[in-house]
């Protein structure tokens, strides 16, 4: 478990199967852009998916990272994993 944000639930979130499944996506694109919001809008048409790109690339601080190339996981695979996760947790799918 990461202790970077000890009072924030992200530490628990980063250790779950959902995150592991996201990191195991094999289909991805590459980009040199350093702004995760921009990349989420460009590839997913939704800036709110910046966190998917951050998780996939092991980026802890989206405002300060040293990656040369950012990998963008396939949106269809991300959405399938998310839908499965929500079903497992008994949450509604929107």
pLDDT tens readout for residues 37-59: 999 999 999 999 999 999 999 99
Is 12 a residue whose pLDDT tops 70? no
| Euclidean distance between CA atoms 12 and 28, whole angstroms | 26
Identify the pLDDT of residue 17: 83
Residue 60 near residue 19, CB atoms below 8 Å? no
Residue ranges per domain, the chain?
10-88
List beta partners, residue 73.
28
pLDDT at 70 over 70: yes
DSSP track, 25-91: ---EEEE----HHHHHHHHHS-GGGHHHHHHHTT-S-TTS---SSEEEE-HHHHHHHHHHHHHHTTP
């Amino acid at each position: 478990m990461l202790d970077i944000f000890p009072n924030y639930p992200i530490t628990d979130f980063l250790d779950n199967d959902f995150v592991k499944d996201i990191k195991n996506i094999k289909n991805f694109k590459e980009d040199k852009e350093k702004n995760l919001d921009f990349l989420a809008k460009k590839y997913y048409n939704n800036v709110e998916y910046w966190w998917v790109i951050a998780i996939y690339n092991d980026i802890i601080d989206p405002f300060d990272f040293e990656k040369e190339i950012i990998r963008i996981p396939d949106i269809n695979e991300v959405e399938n994993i998310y839908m499965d996760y929500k079903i497992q947790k008994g949450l509604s799918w929107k």
